[in-house]
Amino acid sequence: MRAQAEPGSRPAYDEMLDGEGRPRPGLRTVVEVLESLGPEGLAERARLRDAYLDRQGITFSLSGRERPLPLDLVPRVVGAEEWDRVDAGIRQRIKALELFLTDVYGPGEVLRDGIVPRRLVTSSSHYHRAAFGLVPPNGVRIAVAGIDLIRDEQGEFRVLEDNLRSPSGVSYVLENRRTLAHVLPEVFAGQQVRSVAEYPERLLDALRAAAPSDVSDPTVAVLTPGVHNSAHFEHAFLARSMGAELVEGRDLFCRDDRLWMRTVRGARPIHVVYRRIDDEYLDPVHFHPESLLGVPGLLNAARAGNVAIANAVGNGVADDKAVYTYVPDMIEYYLGERPLLPNVETYDLGDPDQRSFVLERLDRMVVKPVDGSGGYGLTIGTTATDAQLAVVADNIRADPRDWIAQPIVTLSTCPTVIGEHSLESRHVDLRPFAVNDGDDVYVLPGGLTRVALPEGSLVVNSSQGGGSKDTWVLDEGDRGAGAEGRPGLPRVTRVRRSAVARQSAPATADDRLRQQEGQQQQSGPDPARGGPSC
């Protein structure tokens, strides 16, 4: 038995006010601005925000329909000292997960030593034998990570899950900052907020560092499923911000174990692919044979060392929700360190003792499918009916490997504009993003705060109608970061138009188009899926 679980019945931690109702450090200006605006002022700024987002084309797809990015006007603020602990914890975690992935697709020492149960790894739907022995040119398997955090009732940040395949949402971090600075500039007055603008440049540097060593000026491409994918805005945004090519599978082909892009001037080599396509659709030679999204032969080109795939194929075994239970053990095993960021207590239901413990307390647990994303398929014990809990219990008994359970944690709350002008507390989580270039792990200060808009709801996922907030990390020593209050252009200026052309595009029958549109959503129950959903 790993721990004793009790439901999160204590009051939520308030992100804005302390126990005596006073603004937390760094939030006095924000509170004063909101009070000075009043209900009518808030409503006016909300209309300005919506018009700005619509004019800029900043959208999010929900159930197949595009809508303006749901950005709240009230920022979420994290102090510098506290963020430094988060930053260090994420770096530590990614280093350990990198070592784990290298190990399980290589010698398997962590399995032989019994640190992580072999049964969990080999039974994971994201463990791909096709990736065994495939070593990226610079050894980096996790170029980009999104580590989901929550703050518990005591105010401590805890890791909820790791996203190591195609974590989405970073484009909204950048756009949230730009938008809030445009519609509510006075809230930044006197604040020293760490910049988020350098993320595209950091990402491009990491991707270029992943290129084969004999390539001096690598070409980087962002591989998207297509315009019907819910995260296509982000794919286009990142490609444009980095000055990289935005391509679909039909724009590429492999020849002689190399990857090429079709252009009006002939074939052009691609050295690094930042793919936003699930493993199962990436290469029809090795995975889904009917995939229209991937590139036949891509894995062979990667195995030959002629192209780097970011993130690496097979990373999903490390962010499998059942394997997540053992990440603290990985940190101690590989790094000899205590975890800086604790997990949310999680039960491995393949263990008979833990399974029995959970089944006796289902009404106080959150039960999740290990292959779920976007908040789909989870059951929160306190809001489920007896009939629903009985179904969950049957599902667990039938296939324990498919489920995990966690005690209910009352997520922290932050004031949020509800309706046109009402400020009400809503639960939030946080997804910081990290970029690994092989020498260092860069953690974007802040990340994406997601908001559960229905009162009392703990489901924050944007794919289920959640909102988002601009997330500030205060910098007490760098006045220059305060320029964030003045919207400006990102540092990256290497923007150029895609040269992609389709010299020999395939004939498109109606059924083929429909099939392609369906695959662009990719598999799984989450209609907004584009990798681990935000």
For residues 142-155, average pLDDT: 96
Q: Could you read off the pLDDT of 430-442 as tens digits, one per residue?
A: 999 999 999 999 9
Give the confidence band of 114 by pLDDT, cuts at 50, 70, 90.
Answer: very high
For residues 8-17, average pLDDT: 83
Please give the pLDDT value at position 487. Answer: 37
**What is the residue-averaged pLDDT of the chain?**
86
Q: Could you read off the pLDDT of 187-212 as tens digits, one per residue?
A: 998 889 999 999 999 999 999 999 99
Strand, helix or coil at 173? helix
For residues 449-461, average pLDDT: 84
Statement: residue 92 has pLDDT above 50: yes
Start-to-end CA distance of the chain, whole Å, equals 32
For residues 32-53, average pLDDT: 90
Is there a contact between 382 and 344 (Cβ–Cβ < 8 Å)?
Answer: no
Give the confidence band of 63 by pLDDT, cuts at 50, 70, 90.
Answer: low
Regarding predicted confidence, which is higher, 100 or 43? 100
Please give the pLDDT value at position 104. Answer: 97
Give the confidence band of 428 by pLDDT, cuts at 50, 70, 90.
Answer: very high
Statement: residue 68 has pLDDT above 80: no
For residues 463-486, average pLDDT: 66
Query: Tokens 């987002």 label which residue?
Result: 53
Statement: residue 531 has pLDDT above 80: no
Give the confidence band of 457 by pLDDT, cuts at 50, 70, 90.
Answer: confident
Give the confidence band of 422 by pLDDT, cuts at 50, 70, 90.
Answer: confident
Lowest-confidence segment of 82-86, 134-138, 238-242, 375-379 by average pLDDT: 375-379
Q: What are phi and psi of 329, to 5 degrees?
A: -65, -35
Please give the pLDDT value at position 58. Answer: 79
Please give the pLDDT value at position 287. Answer: 95
**What is the full DSSP assignment across 221-253?**
EEE---TTSTTHHHHHHHHHHHTPEEE-GGGEE
Q: Could you read off the pLDDT of 311-322 as tens digits, one per residue?
A: 999 999 999 999
Statement: residue 147 has pLDDT above 80: yes
Please give the pLDDT value at position 488. Answer: 34
* HEC readout, 196-212: CCCHHHHHHHHHHHCCC
Distance of CA 373 to the CA centre of its chain: 11
Please give the pLDDT value at position 25. Answer: 85
Is there a contact between 406 and 7 (Cβ–Cβ < 8 Å)?
Answer: no
For residues 45-74, average pLDDT: 82
Is there a contact between 462 and 528 (Cβ–Cβ < 8 Å)?
Answer: yes
Please give the pLDDT value at position 19. Answer: 86
Statement: residue 481 has pLDDT above 50: no
Please give the pLDDT value at position 507. Answer: 39
Statement: residue 504 has pLDDT above 50: no
Query: Tokens 């808009």 label which residue?
Result: 453
The identity of residue 190, as a single letter, is G
Please give the pLDDT value at position 456. Answer: 80
For residues 334-359, average pLDDT: 94
Six-digit token string for 86: 């988060």
Regarding predicted confidence, which is higher, 236 or 517? 236
Residue 81 belongs to what H/E stretch? helix 80-104
Query: Tokens 């290589």 label which residue?
Result: 106
Which residues does 324 contact at the CB level (< 8 Å), separation at least 6?
A: 161, 162, 343, 346, 404
Please give the pLDDT value at position 464. Answer: 67
The reported pTM is: 0.86
Length of the chain: 534
Please, what is the angle between helix 232-242 and helix 170-183, to 10°?
A: 80
Q: Could you read off the pLDDT of 271-294 as tens digits, one per residue?
A: 999 999 999 999 999 999 999 999
Please give the pLDDT value at position 524. Answer: 42
Statement: residue 87 has pLDDT above 50: yes
Give the confidence band of 382 by pLDDT, cuts at 50, 70, 90.
Answer: confident
For residues 293-304, average pLDDT: 96
